[in-house]
Amino acid sequence: MLCSQCEVRGWWETLCWESGASFRLVGGSRCSGRVEVLHGETWSTVCDADFDQQDAEVVCRELGCGPPVEVDAHFGPGSGPIWMDDVYCVGSESTLKHCTSPGWGKHDCDHSKDAGVICSGKFIPLFSFFLLVDGGSRCTGRVEVLNRGQWGTVCDDNWDLSDAAVVCRELGCGEAVDALSDAYFGPGSGPIWMDDVDCSGSESTLKKCQLTGLVKHTCNHTKDAGVICSVYMFFFLSPNILDVRLINSSRCSGRVEVLHRQTWSTVCDADFDQQDAEVVCRELGCGLPVEVLGAAAFGRGEGQVWSEELQCRGNESQIHFCPTSSSLKYNCSHYSDVGLVCAGTSKEVIGKQAKGSETIRHVRLVDGGIHCAGRVEVLHRGQWGTVCGHGWDMRDAAVVCRELRCGEAVDALSKTPFGPGSGPIWMDNVDCSGSESTLKNCGSKGWGKHNCDHSSDSGVICSGKLYKPSKGFEFLSHSLCPLIIIIINYTLHYL
């Protein structure tokens, strides 16, 4: 049995490895980070040239961290020699040292190309034959099945929430939030093991559901099934960014600066896009982005220009959750400092009625990562409270989405999919026709009258047509943007 050892290098970086192991992951957690190898008495890095899924499988297996979740992960540059390059593993090796490479210390790259890996964090149980892959965590992604020693996919014919519920339960990932089709998480490879899966939703494993039969199918990988479960394991992918601010204008507009190792740095305008802007505005409580401005529109900064490129998906709650990669804009100067204009405070964005009234809206969606998904809360007598999920359906959700100017209702959820609220439960047995302008116009038991607790709080997912500012661009979230519509189980030890 290997014992885990960890060393803290400042609170932003933790280094962990297994005593007796010749490899370790640095800059993330025990099971995620930059790959480092011990040669002689010196730890150093591995170049990411041709570093692929098979190589990552060997690293994760050697460290007792289960299967790899992400291979092209970035955890910052290492230092010292680069021990390995062009690593080639078949995937079955017990250690990376058994894989082929040009030889120790032979490479043609620098530390900007250091390989990183995110492992799932635990071994697959002996009798668990399912994984979710390419979704960013073990609780969301393309459904893959292990059969005859080989991983393959599931066809989406008749794939629904009952089937997804079985997968989520089997993987210990809570309830099913969505059952996705048409290779939403990208096409898989290899065999398609299952088709026409038909679960009641109560089965303990997908293999107990009815189906056409193993190997028998009438589809290709463009129809691979996917799942989003309520317990979404969130990765700490950008440990070097500690804070963000907008300066030289107002709290919600100005030059973008990030705090990196106790130093504020500006950001190159070529490395900053709409998704990055969404995260910055959200983190600062400034609503939605109105305009991204280049060419030092808010004045030139001082000191460093940050050397990394943000790769936010747009759904992250804070910028330090965004992946990063080495910037290709090596000649970026303060003449290219990026600036950002956000719409204002979240209260300003969602608090204005359609008729121009300045009164605060009486409904909101919280803990879903964005304005248009989350637990339903209503304001009554100056206090926010929740809505019981009894009888909660798509007509009720449609009213909420319309009231918040969030497009159409995609899903009406019950049983606390976005976590339990607190305080009063204001509404129960809500009964809308779907045409009401506000949830308060729908029927219910009456204010504060209910027979449930916060384990039944309702939630809503809207299609995501958000606030349209009078100037700048119209912000439309990606259809569903489902990766953000999840419960964040913020666990860094077990990814």
Return the minimum-mean-pLDDT range out of 190-199, 223-232, 326-335, 385-394. Answer: 326-335
Is residue 21 over pLDDT 80? no
Do 4-119 and 354-488 have matching folds?
yes
Q: Which residue has the tokens 């290779």?
A: 183
Is residue 15 over pLDDT 50? no
pLDDT, tens digit (0-9, with 9 covering 90-100), for 174-213:
778 788 888 988 898 888 988 889 998 878 778 788 876 5
Is residue 255 over pLDDT 80? yes
Measured distance CA(146)–CA(188) in Å, rounded:
13
Domain 4-119 fold is: Mac-2 Binding Protein (3.10.250)
Beta-strand pair 231-233/487-489: parallel
What is the per-residue pLDDT for 73? 65
455 burial type by CB count under 10 A (0-12 exposed, 13-18 middle, 19+ buried): exposed
- Residue 44, by phi and psi: left (phi above 0), alpha (psi -120 to 50) or beta? beta
Q: How confident is the model at residue 469 (pLDDT cuts 50, 70, 90)?
A: very low
Is residue 495 over pLDDT 60? no
C-beta of residue 67 within 8 angstroms of C-beta of residue 94: no
What is the per-residue pLDDT for 262? 66
Is residue 280 over pLDDT 80? yes
What is the per-residue pLDDT for 119? 82
What is the per-residue pLDDT for 477? 32
Average pLDDT score over residue span 216-239: 68
Residue 192 pairs in a beta bridge with 153
Does domain 241-346 sit in CATH 3.10.250.10?
yes
Query: Which phi and psi (to 5°) does residue 144 adopt?
Result: -125, 145
Domain 130-233 fold is: Mac-2 Binding Protein (3.10.250)
Is residue 51 over pLDDT 50? yes
Is residue 216 over pLDDT 80? no
Highest-pLDDT range among 15-19, 35-39, 488-492: 35-39
Q: How confident is the model at residue 241 (pLDDT cuts 50, 70, 90)?
A: low
- CA 64 → CA 18, 32, 105, distances in Å? 9, 12, 26
Query: Which phi and psi (to 5°) does residue 322 adopt?
Result: -80, 140
* Dihedral sign from CA coordinates of 355, 356, 358, 362: positive
Whole-model pTM: value is: 0.29
What is the per-residue pLDDT for 325? 67
What is the per-residue pLDDT for 392? 94
Query: 459-487 as b/e, with b when 16 or more CB fall inside 10 Å?
Result: bbbbbbbbbebeeeeebebeebbbbbbbb
Is residue 300 over pLDDT 50? yes
What is the per-residue pLDDT for 316? 67
Q: What is the CA radius of gyration of the chain?
A: 24
Q: What percent of the chain lies above the pLDDT cut of 90?
A: 14
Does domain 354-488 sit in CATH 3.10.250.10?
yes
Return the minimum-mean-pLDDT range out of 30-34, 156-160, 224-228. Answer: 30-34
What is the per-residue pLDDT for 288? 85
Domain ranges for the chain: 4-119, 130-233, 241-346, 354-488
29 burial type by CB count under 10 A (0-12 exposed, 13-18 middle, 19+ buried): buried
pLDDT, tens digit (0-9, with 9 covering 90-100), for 158-178:
899 889 988 988 777 777 878
**Among the listed residues 171, 158, 177, the one whose alpha carbon sits nearest the alpha carbon of residue 227:** 177
What is the per-residue pLDDT for 381? 63
